[in-house]
Chains A and B, each alone.
Chain A
Amino acid sequence: MSDLESFRNDVRDWLEANCPDSMRKPMKSEKDICWGGKRFEFSSGDQKAWLERMAEKGWTCPSWPKEYGGGGLSKDEAQILKEEMERIKARPPLISFGIWMLGPALLKYGSEEQKRHYLPQITRGEIRWAQGYSEPGAGSDLAALRTKGDDKGDHWVVNGQKVWTSYADECDWIFALVRTEPDAPKHLGISFLLIDMEWDGVSTKPIKLISGKSPFCETFFDDVKVPKENIVHESGRGWDVAKYLLSHERANIAGGGSGAQMNPVAAAHKSGEVDENGRVADPILRGDIARLTIDALAFETTLQRIKDQADGGQGVGAKASMLKYYGTELNKRRHELNMSALGSDGLLWEGENPEDGDPARGWLRSRANSIEGGTSEIQLNILAKRVLELPGG
């Protein structure tokens, strides 16, 4: 038996013995997601046990090095773990910004002390991280940010405001972009700082969206003292870290898309808009859905193909922008057609069941897909400059 085959057998046995039955059922709501963090309340003993057992193996972050709390798995081994978890429909033991955003950035840019300190807290789900990038005056033009840190020798005093900080009211720490060198050129005066949200002067306020309640917050910094050792990478080079991290975020938004499982055909069945053969009754709507299917197949195939190319050593680079652009525009279309197929049933906002109003909320929420993580227009700018090498304007 090859090493990989015996690894697969070991994984299978271990999961069989350690993954609780209730963690092998699909997640029904937001509540079933394990985000971790100091203030997180487990929804069941099984959820807690599942996290602890996986964290013990380092399998909440399978490919991170063992010395930082990861599983130290090779790419092939990590793939096997993923497949075996999918086979038994195991829920992810932990989902967090720490895992898919800060972690990769620390692995690339963090100091040895920072990696040893922060990464294991992430893999064990002890600390929940928020992202502090956008500001009221700095959205697409992120480098225009004005939150500033005054140099006081061994620390900075940070003042300013961030917006769109997801779940900030439930997070323990925040990684934030702060202008520490006011005289440096726009992109060069920014530093990447790690800030404890319990420190004096940090406060948050939730934002309500067109879709209703949202995870987004405003976060305020009012004379917050941040020690110098809490900087990642060099002072003034925070932009490098931010860019690196954004490319991870883009790949994630493009791949995930809240509506990937949502299906306008199922919607037509629900609202009774099908004929006796089970075909979508309105022929034009049926055609629109079919065109969506075609583009969704194209997108799915492109994700696979870019992955194949990356495995073959070709860089993904600016192609993340292509995926972000296409994937989010596609997701918006999917939600629009879902609403069309539901007809007036889709207009429900509140009702007797907790899931009443989900289609409308999902549809409204999808409008943000092509704004967050860099707007569609910003992605097109990146493609025009970095891939097509069109002249600057």
Chain B
Amino acid sequence: MSYILSEEEQMLRDSAQAFLAEKSPVSELRRLRDEGCKDGFRHAIWKDMADMGWNGIVIPEEYGGVDMGFTAAGLILQEMGRTLAATPFLASSVLCATALRYGGTEGQKSEHLPKIASGEKVYALAVDEKARHDASHIETRARKDGNGFRLSGQKRHVVCGNGADMLIVAARMDDDSIGLFLVDPETSGVERTLRRSVDSHAPANIHFDDVKLDGDALLSETEDGSALLDLVLDSGRACLAAEQLGIAEEAFSRTLDYIKEREQFGQKIGSFQSLQHRAAHLLTEVEMTQSLVIKALRQLDEAPSQAPLWIAAAKAKATRVSRLSSAEAIQMHGGVGMTDEYEIGFFYKRAQAAGEFLGDDAWGAGRVAELSGY
């Protein structure tokens, strides 16, 4: 495996950079927040992204995608981290696309994947029921009912949940195994409550009250729903780690620019050794994170059975370093770093939320210990 990006990957990254700088800079996130947007993303930008082919980045060509793999998806998310672009990309094009691709029957794939790829519909994945991420804790029930199911339970903080047109819900079946179910949120018995979050995204709590589902709501290509869910979550973690890396890089780069310009005591504050050492430490931590993120993404594409350890390590490291980088950014910016007018605070907020989603650094450490057999 190579740590170097291919020419195709570099082109993708460059075009993502250019597109996001123009269409979705940090000021766009501020606008979404100030308008009180209930979906948490701009539909017009989502459409444009579909036209670039991004929304089908991990979807096979026969279902309207471009099938470039998780490394490519990660590169896009890394750039999104840099501009804090709020889009359904992770929820819809990574998590749900992966669930359908590897868990969906032929019929489910041909019905749903093209809608994700074209951006026509937005999909969201509902797993967590506790405050901290824990995919083993699923009490939502899908009881067999004739040819179909009855779904009851409560999902917490579903990312992109308020604006989604379709949900994929993890639930426990009659034999206590895990199943993933396609659920239209407009179905009777589904109730969504918007939870405005600190990063200006629009997740939702979703209540399922004896919701009637057809038999083909279950992603049933595989028997082992738990393994499918693991794969789906790991794909999301690897890609989210890339977004966190982008956050860390951009917060660091802005801070570096700032301490090279800002003067106190008659000199640039970047000439002070106390700040230089903190900046050099951050540089090193960001470099380490870059290595783990590309390793995790490549493993997922090239050797998926080896990937879980690297993904847990990457998610944990990226969580810690993105939070450190954005926290140090506020400190080194001083007073202006605390103002809403300055953009640096948005990075700190997003780093907290992205860190929490799909497992933070403590979660990752636990997983690494478990996978390493200690």
Q: Is the CB of B283 within 8 A of A383?
A: yes
With contacts A305-B291, A380-B277 taken as known, whether A291 is within 8 angstroms of B365 at the C-beta atoms is: yes
Closest beta carbon of chain B to A103's beta carbon, Å: 29
Q: Which of A246-305 contact B (CB under 8 A)?
A: 265, 268, 274, 278-280, 286-287, 289-291, 293-295, 297-299, 301-302, 304-305
Q: Is B271 an interface residue (CB 8 A)?
A: yes
A-B contact number at CB 8 A: 127
A4–chain B nearest beta-carbon distance, Å: 19
Residue pair A287, B313 in contact (C-beta under 8 Å)? no
B-contacting 9-mer, from A12-20, A106-114, A206-214, A385-393: A385-393
The answer to whether B113 has its CB under 8 Å from any CB of chain A is no
> With A290-B365, A305-B3, A388-B256 in contact, do A298 and B280 touch (Cβ < 8 Å)?
no
B294, closest chain A residue (CB): A305
In contact, A289 and B374 (Cβ under 8 angstroms): yes
Q: In the complex the two chains form, what is the Cα distance from A349 to B350 in whole Å?
A: 50
B126 at the interface (CB under 8 A from A): no
Given contacts A265-B374, A384-B277, whether A391 and B289 have CB atoms under 8 Å apart is: no
Q: Give chain A residues whose Cβ lies under 8 Å from the Cβ of B291.
A: 298, 301-302, 304-305
Residues 355-374 of B contacting A (Cβ, < 8 Å): 361-362, 364-366, 368-369, 372-374
Interface membership of A363, Cβ < 8 A: no
Q: How far, in Å, is B191 (CB) from chain A's closest CB?
A: 38
A294 touches B368 (CB 8 A): yes
- Interface range on chain A (Cβ under 8 Å from partner): 35 or more
Q: Contact flags (1/0) for B342-361 with A, using CB distance below 8 Å? A: 00000000000000000001
Pair B369/A289 contact, Cβ less than 8 Å: yes
Chain B: which residue is nearest A326 at the CB level? B284
- Report Cα–Cα, A309/B271, bound state, in Å: 30
Known: A298-B288, A301-B295. A393 touches B271 (CB 8 A): yes
Q: Which residues of B contact A280 (CB under 8 A)?
A: 369, 374
- Majority SS at the chain B contact face: helix
A291–B294 CA distance with the chains assembled, in angstroms: 19
Question: B365 contacts A308, CB within 8 Å?
Answer: no
Verify B272–A393 contact, CB threshold 8 A. Answer: yes
Write the chain B residue with the least CB distance to A265: B374
Residues in B with CB closer than 8 Å to A326 are: 284, 288
| Complex CA distance for A291 and B362, rounded to whole angstroms | 9
Name the residue of chain A whose CB is nearest to the CB of B252. Answer: A388
Which single residue of chain A is at the shortest CB-CB distance from B2? A308
Residues of A participating in the B interface, judged by any CB pair closer than 8 Å: 265, 268, 274, 278-280, 286-287, 289-291, 293-295, 297-299, 301-302, 304-305, 308-309, 312, 319, 322, 325-326, 377, 379-381, 383-385, 387-393
